[in-house]
Amino acid sequence: MQRPDWAPDTIDIERPSVARMYDYYLGGSHNFAADRAAARAMVDAVPEAPLMAQANRAFLRRAVQFLADSGIRQFLDLGSGIPTVGNVHEIAQRADPACRVVYVDVDPVAVAHSREILAGNDRATVIQEDLRRPAAILGHPEVNRLLDFSQPVAVLVVAVLHFIPPEDRPEEILRTLGKALAPGSHLVLSQASDDGRSETGERAEAERVYRRTDNQLWIRSRAELVTLFDGFELVDPGVVWVPQWRPESPEQAEDAERSVFIGGVGRLGG
């Protein structure tokens, strides 16, 4: 298959990537045949997959709006993905053009496309890093050029923790980030959960599909996600199915568990 201009030479387009599968669920065009085949296999296993992605994006938008309304002016978005509709810098800078945003992703396509859409925006940038290396992120010159850690920062880890299994010590990653943050900073987490779903084999099938990628799928319960907010005070309504997190209308929260995603926002006191 012909490699489009936007595809960095370094990527293996025969191996599905979670960033490009997610782009496909959202109706984007930055994906290849291998990504689409894996995404379709996922939809066969879990028909809600596109709905999950949309519900998660809607949660991300509401959370960023909430943070901007709460006075947050700095955002560090880890596992930010291939840009799509309603990106963090668009929402934050609409609320206040002075908002500064750093995107971090390990996927070269996500980084290349983010760099392209951020050209000319001197208050937003992207770096290619692995969020399992929080010290490298915190010490990165681009991060320190835009973010002032003596002031509150919102750290977003949205729809990515399910790619960080326990052996990667997510609690230590979040603790390292939390220690660098000033009081009034916030943490936004969301991830896939199968709480309350009957065992139909769909989880095993979803895990099997994601084994084709570089990222393994690690589902967590609500109780497990709550523990990852350690040190942060959960903002109302706590960790819930993402459509239930401050919906803009009652209809938005209907059939919330079909989103398969749970999420919440925590605030660092002190």
Residues that bind ligand SAM (CB under 6 A): 18-19, 22, 56-57, 60, 79-81, 105-107, 110, 130-132, 158-160, 163, 215
How far is the C-alpha of 42 from the C-alpha of 25, rounded, in Å? 10
Distance between CA 36 and CA 49 in Å, rounded? 13
Among 3, 212, 192, which Cα is nearest to 112's?
3
CB of 128 to ligand SAM, least distance (A): 9
Please report where in the chains the tokens 């782009």 appear, as a residue: 23
| Shortest Å distance, C-beta 57 to ligand SAM | 5
Residue 18 Cβ vs ligand SAM, minimum distance, rounded to whole Å: 5
Token pair of 220, please? 């967590």
| Min dist. Cβ of residue 21 to ligand SAM (A) | 8
CA–CA distance, 55 with 256 (Å, rounded to integer):
9
- The distance of Cα 192 from the centroid of its chain, to the nearest Å, equals 11
Burial-class residue 204 by CB neighbours within 10 Å (0-12, 13-18, 19+).
exposed
Q: Which is nearer to ligand SAM, 15 or 182 (CB)?
A: 15
Residue 64: closest CA among 192, 155, 191: 155
Strands 240-241 and 233-234: unpaired
Distance in angstroms (rounded) separating the CA atoms of residues 93 and 24? 26
Nearer to ligand SAM, 182 or 194 (CB): 194
CA–CA distance, 38 with 31 (Å, rounded to integer): 11
State which residue, 18 or 187, has the beta carbon closest to ligand SAM. Answer: 18
- Least distance from ligand SAM to the Cβ atom of residue 191, Å: 9
Q: Which residue is nearest to ligand SAM (CB)?
A: 81
Burial code (b: 16+ CB inside 10 Å, e: under 16) for 81-91 equals bbbeeebbbbb
Q: How near is the Cβ of 150 to ligand SAM at its closest, in Å? A: 25
Our CB check for ligand SAM shows the closer of 159 and 187 to be 159
Q: Which is nearer to ligand SAM, 216 or 252 (CB)?
A: 216
Nearest residue (CB) to ligand SAM, 34 versus 60: 60
Provide the minimum distance between the beta carbon of 26 and ligand SAM in the complex, in angstroms, as a whole number. Answer: 8
46 versus 158: smaller Cβ distance to ligand SAM? 158
